[in-house]
A = this chain, B = another copy of it.
Amino acid sequence: MAATIRDVARASGVHVSTVSRTFSAPHLVNTETRNRVLAVAEDLGYRPNRAARALTTGRTHNIGLIVADISNPFFPPLIKAAQAHARARDYHVFVADTDEDPQVEEELIQTLAKQVDGVLLCSPRLSNRAIERLHADVPFVVVNRRMKGLPTILMDVGEGARLAIEHLTGLGHRRIALLSGPVGSWTSGEMRAAATATDGVELVILGPNAPTEQGGLAVAGEVVASGVTGVLAYNDLVAIGLIEGLYERGVRVPDDISVVGVDDIVSGRLNRPKLTTVAMPTAAAGRMAVDLLLQSFGEGATPTLATLDTSLVVRESTGEVRT
């Protein structure tokens, strides 16, 4: 059994409260005593039990981070940034994957609720109502989903979609497909709204699609059949899958069809053709999410909305429409 505060107290001839202070309020204890306690603690391999500490303080110094699919390369940069940022502030991040299942998501939140001080909800699939209900149990910061009354971080994917469509029309494309994402995805809705609002475009909406390479692969036939020359995919994974699906059908990118993705994941930069895409500020979002959450622990916590800019990165998967 690991050493407890009591062991340290006994071994150093002071009372538990003094040991406690040595760790949580060192300035309140005599330097000499403190050093002695510290030495004994070191000797015994004592480390304060965070869970027990949380019971009295109400602060676990843990943050939960919930994502729909950890294997989507969109998330790791966000996760890593959040972890690093949190660690620098003496918080730890626990990541959990919901497998795109709202019910698992809910369970996870409830489990996490008492073990963390707050939860970062990334691209949640839960209904607004459910989120509001769960919010009674634990503070949230929501990423990529508009939630009134909760601290929210949005990446301006609508603007990105607009840029992408403009890029395509600039290349002469008139008939363009939008590959939408999962039902309930805020991002997908934003993209759709932006695309619909653009003039001079015949928009074909295909979906919902799974936000994966498989999703893109599966919709390739429909894309070909739709007779479009340009495509804006829900994300890079879908775009990559689509390109492969088109390739299998003898359709070339960008020669026959231009494809734009969203996210700017690493493998999009290495695949051939290198992907033209809407770059999402994922790392910044991860850091900001942590900041907002910690901030919300303080007094007078005001729900905040932070919108981060996106940008279009033009690479090789888009080209002029063939005449």
Interface of A toward B, CB cutoff 8 Å: 2, 45, 47, 49-52, 54-55, 60, 62, 70-71, 73, 76-77, 79-80, 83-84, 87, 92-97, 99, 104, 107-108, 110-111, 113-115, 136-137, 213, 217, 240-241, 244, 247, 266-267, 270-272
Q: Measured between alpha carbons, how far is A110 from B70 in the docked complex, in Å?
A: 24
CA distance A271 to B213 in the complex (A): 11
- Closest-by-CB residue of B relative to A115 is B51
**CA–CA, A73 and B52, complex, Å:** 36
The answer to whether B47 touches A55, judged by C-beta atoms less than 8 angstroms apart, is no
Copies in the complex: 2
Contacts of A54 in B (CB 8 A): 51
Majority DSSP secondary structure for residues of A touching B: helix
30 A-B pairs within 8 Å (CB atoms) are namely A2-B136, A47-B110, A47-B114, A47-B137, A50-B115, A51-B51, A51-B55, A51-B60, A51-B115, A52-B55, A70-B70, A71-B73, A71-B80, A73-B73, A83-B96, A83-B99, A84-B99, A92-B96, A92-B108, A92-B111, A94-B94, A94-B96, A95-B96, A115-B115, A213-B267, A217-B270, A241-B270, A247-B272, A267-B267, A267-B271
Whether A70 and B80, one on each chain, are in contact in the complex, defined by CB atoms closer than 8 angstroms, is: yes
Q: If the complex has contacts A83-B97, A94-B96, are A270 and B73 also in contact, measured as CB distance less than 8 A? A: no
Q: How far is the CB of A57 from chain B (nearest CB, A)?
A: 12
- A55 / chain B contacts, CB cutoff of 8 Å: 51-52, 55
Q: How far is the CA of A50 from the CA of B108 in the complex (A)?
A: 13
A2 to B138, CA, bound (A): 9
Q: Is the CB of B115 within 8 A of A62?
A: yes
Please tell me which one of the listed residues B83, B137, B217, B266 contacts residue A45 in the complex, with CB atoms under 8 A apart. B137
Give the Cβ gap from A237 to chain B, nearest Cβ, in Å: 9
Contact of A244 among B87, B96, B244, B270 (CB under 8 A): B270
Closest 4 CB pairs of A and B: A71-B76, A94-B94, A95-B95, A51-B51
List 7 additional contacts besides A55-B55, A115-B115; criterion CB under 8 Å. A2-B114, A50-B115, A51-B55, A51-B115, A70-B95, A95-B96, A267-B271
Give the nearest-CB partner of A111 in chain B: B92
